[in-house]
Chain A
């Protein structure tokens, strides 16, 4: 019998059993590829803390559409805070970029609003603000609070700075004539410049209101002003009274400015009155040097050109003057720093106009414009710096003092008056006062002699006796007058005599009547008829 022999394979053979693993491998690879290709990007966002965040639960939303979920939360060791790893959906990839932002939406109760109430039930979620330009950035810093303005919102973003603290918080309104046109986005304090900075956003189309002549001021709360004119109470809307707010406008009499770019910095004033005190932004500094006394010239004193206010005195530059040591010995001129503002000329308020004013002054100085000290108020002695043309003065041009240009000066009104007074005093000195006074002395001596002679006459006994005699005469005269009163014997006697005369005259009158009736009565007897007898009637 034949012994069976195994048939030996002559070449390497791959068992078909390996097909399955291969298929499985291929499938697995495909699944991995598919999973990876459809999984979407993973980003890491750093938060200050994990309040409200839960791994595998907290959702990420954009415009209330769920676009991802927090996968895990771990501590961010070195940088602090926590890092949330977020799995986003693939379509969210295009939203990622350098300026994409994340923040936690939770219930917030603010002074002006209550937001995120729905998260009380659903739990906090992460809101995302997409980037303007997509990029591969995958690490982000979360915002502490929701941004007040959407990044793609139309409008203009401005910086305000103030020396004073205002009761403004992010979210407070920016109003224009009582209408809300924007909001405060953030506030911060810069310890270097020691100013409070605010970022505000003016929504379109109100950004067209903003130009270089615009001023911002605080209208928070209620302003009560009391002065000689009475009370003035001003307040904004109820929202600005309670929460604070900013408004803006062009100061009265100021020309419209030029458009500004986003990010331009403005000053935030305390109130409108403060703006009116110093409404201009641009100006140029000059130094004027006076060799006369500047008594009465104070910081803030006006600088005028023929009565038109151009600016004000900033300060007397004492430190620079003493630094020069020009006070020693010769008594050099006193430098005064002045500030001229083109806005006061109502030609607008901008850097270009300031430059134009600078050129104009340079030309004017060549043509004879000089600064002088003038008296603004004779009572208080307040002085101001006047600019005017003095063509007779020798030709000069702008000089320089330290970093500032100088305007040449000429002695002012007061100085000229002083000069005239000095001349007058010199003339007075030349008068022959000695001779005049000696003549006057002689005249006085003569007068004294005359007076003593007069006193001698008055002291004379005869002169004094005269007065007594005069008195006696007057007394006698009074006695005589007293003797003629109705009660006096003389008067009575005179009266009786007059009565007798009357009786006699009456008798004469009777006689003359008798004679006229009967002319021969003087020689012929007159028959006098008997009087009729009155008779009693029964």
Chain B
């Protein structure tokens, strides 16, 4: 592994052109940043997994260009892989919408109803909007499974990747609210 790192450094050292540092975006809930130290009620639902489409399983933000192709940004990256950050983010947002904590990953027990989410599309479109296509399933304790589909676009408020991240975040929050609404219904 060290050899590989050394090799990477070597390659980086060989490039004569100065490379500008990439911009990194963190996917986090706003609420998580508020200081909190209260005991939480036991979780009523568990988020078992959030899976992402393969084209999203990489650090760069994805943008659909005018020619209809997808471009993976090299200078605008996610701070964490989406598959891990999305799990925490969605658990947090669903919990906020439900006003009850949501168990995540290993904490999900067998006797809790479970949600699993699959993100099919999450990118900026060529018409100035962010696109989210997601599927999610609700598995009750007795084994009954219900499937849902969520498709929505959110126009960018401004030019630039920061606005794209904000729009994508907004879409994910809407997905969390839709899930919470379905659970409460």
- Counting chain B CB atoms within 10 Å of each CB, the highest count among A486, A504, A523, A534 belongs to A534
* Interface hit among B32-40, B68-76, B134-142, B172-180: B68-76
Take A504-B5, A525-B17, A536-B158 as given contacts and tell me if A531 and B128 are in contact as well, using a CB distance cutoff of 8 Å.
no
Once bound together, how far apart are the Cα atoms of A462 and B92, in whole Å? 60
Question: In the bound complex, do residue B4 and residue A508 qualify as a contact, i.e. CB atoms below 8 Å apart?
Answer: yes
Those of B98-156 within 8 Å (CB) of chain A = 106, 124, 127-129, 155-156
A519 to chain B, nearest CB (A): 13
Residue of A nearest to B60 (CB): A531
User: Quick check: is B157 within 8 A (CB to CB) of the other chain?
Assistant: yes
A534 touches B164 (CB 8 A): yes
CA distance A82 to B4 in the complex (A): 161
Name the CB-closest residue of A to B106. Answer: A486
Residue A507 is within 8 A (CB to CB) of chain B in the complex? yes
Cα distance A533–B161 when bound, in Å?
7
Contact across chains for A531 and B71 when beta carbons are under 8 A apart: yes
Cα separation A522 to B7 with both chains bound (whole Å): 11
B113 to chain A, nearest CB (A): 21
Interface assignment of B163: CB less than 8 Å from any CB of chain A: yes
Given contacts A504-B1, A525-B17, contact A535 B75 (CB under 8 A): no
Q: Would you call A536 and B163 a contact (CB within 8 A)? A: yes
- Interface presence of A487 (CB below 8 A): yes
**Residues 1-34 of B contacting A (Cβ, < 8 Å):** 1, 4-5, 8, 11, 14-17, 19
A518 to chain B, nearest CB (A): 12
Measured between beta carbons, the chain A residues less than 8 angstroms from B16 are 525
Given A507-B8, A532-B63, decide whether A501 and B1 contact each other with a Cβ distance below 8 A.
yes
Question: Pick the contact of A522 from B11, B81, B159 — CB < 8 Å?
Answer: B11
Measured between beta carbons, the chain A residues less than 8 angstroms from B161 are: 531, 533-534
Task: Report yes or no: B124 in contact with A537, Cβ–Cβ below 8 A.
Answer: no
Q: Does B65 contact A (CB under 8 A)?
A: yes
Question: What band does the interface of chain A fall in when counting residues whose beta carbon is under 8 Å from B?
Answer: 20 to 34
- Report whether B11 and A527 are in contact in the complex, using a CB–CB cutoff of 8 Å: no
B160 within 8 A of A: yes
Which of A506, A522, A532, A534 contacts B163 (CB under 8 A)?
A: A534
Q: How many residues of B contact A (CB 8 A)?
A: 33
Check B156 against A534 for contact (C-beta < 8 Å): yes
Q: Which residue of B lies closest to A505 (CB)?
A: B4
Contacts known (A504-B4, A527-B17); A511 close to B156, Cβ less than 8 A? no
Check B65–A532 contact: CB distance below 8 A.
Answer: yes
Chain B residues, CB < 8 A from A533: 159-161
Contact present for B76 and A531 (CB under 8 Å): yes
The answer to whether the Cβ of B44 comes within 8 Å of any Cβ in the partner chain is: no
Complex alpha-carbon distance, A507 and B129, angstroms: 30
- Could you say which residues of chain B place their CB within 8 Å of the CB of A501? 1
Main secondary structure of the interface of A (DSSP, over half): loop
Cα A507 to Cα B5 with chains together (Å)? 10
Contacts of B127 in A (CB 8 A): 537
Q: What residues of A have a CB within 8 angstroms of the CB of B85 in the complex?
A: none
A26 and B180 CA atoms in complex are apart in Å by 165
Contact partners of A486 in chain B: CB under 8 A: 106
**B61 CB to closest chain A CB, in angstroms?**
8
Interface presence of B58 (CB below 8 A) = yes
Q: A536-B155, A537-B128, A537-B155 in contact; A531/B63 too (CB < 8 A)?
A: yes
Q: With A506-B58, A535-B128, A537-B155 in contact, do A511 and B63 touch (Cβ < 8 Å)?
A: no
Q: Is the CB of A534 within 8 A of B15?
A: no
**One of A500, A507, A525, A534 near B159 (C-beta < 8 A):** A534
Nearest chain A CB to B179 CB, angstrom units: 25
Instruction: Give the residues in chain B near A507, CB-CB below 8 Å.
Output: 8
Query: Cβ of B81: which chain A residues have Cβ within 8 Å of it?
Result: 499
Task: Give Cα distance in the complex from A504 to B75, angstroms.
Answer: 18
Measured in the bound complex, the distance between the Cα atoms of B71 and A506 in whole Å is 17
Most buried by A among B15, B58, B65, B158: B15
Q: Please tell me which one of the listed residues A504, A508, A522, A534 contacts residue B14 in the complex, with CB atoms under 8 A apart.
A: A522
Q: Is the CB of A535 within 8 A of B1?
A: no
Q: Does A453 contact B (CB under 8 A)?
A: no
Identify which of B63, B74, B128 contacts A536 (C-beta below 8 A): B128
Chain B CB within 8 A of A528 CB = yes
Q: How far is the CA of A31 from the CA of B94 in the complex (A)?
A: 161
When distances are taken between beta carbons in the complex, the residues of chain B under 8 Å from A523 are: 14
Which of B5, B11, B124, B163 counts the most chain A CB atoms within 10 A? Answer: B11
Q: Given the complex, which residues of A lie within 8 Å of B65, measured CB to CB?
A: 532
Q: Give B residues with C-beta under 8 Å from A.
A: 1, 4-5, 8, 11, 14-17, 19, 58, 63, 65, 71, 73-76, 81, 106, 124, 127-129, 155-161, 163-164
For the complex of A and B, list the 8 residue pairs with the smallest distance between their C-beta atoms, beginning with the closest.
A537-B128, A536-B156, A531-B73, A534-B124, A525-B17, A525-B16, A534-B164, A536-B128
Residue contacts A-B, CB under 8 angstroms, 17 given: A504-B1, A506-B58, A507-B8, A508-B8, A525-B16, A525-B17, A526-B15, A527-B17, A528-B19, A528-B74, A532-B71, A533-B160, A534-B63, A534-B163, A535-B156, A535-B159, A536-B163
Interface residues of A (CB under 8 A from B): 486-487, 499-501, 504, 506-508, 511, 522-523, 525-528, 530-537
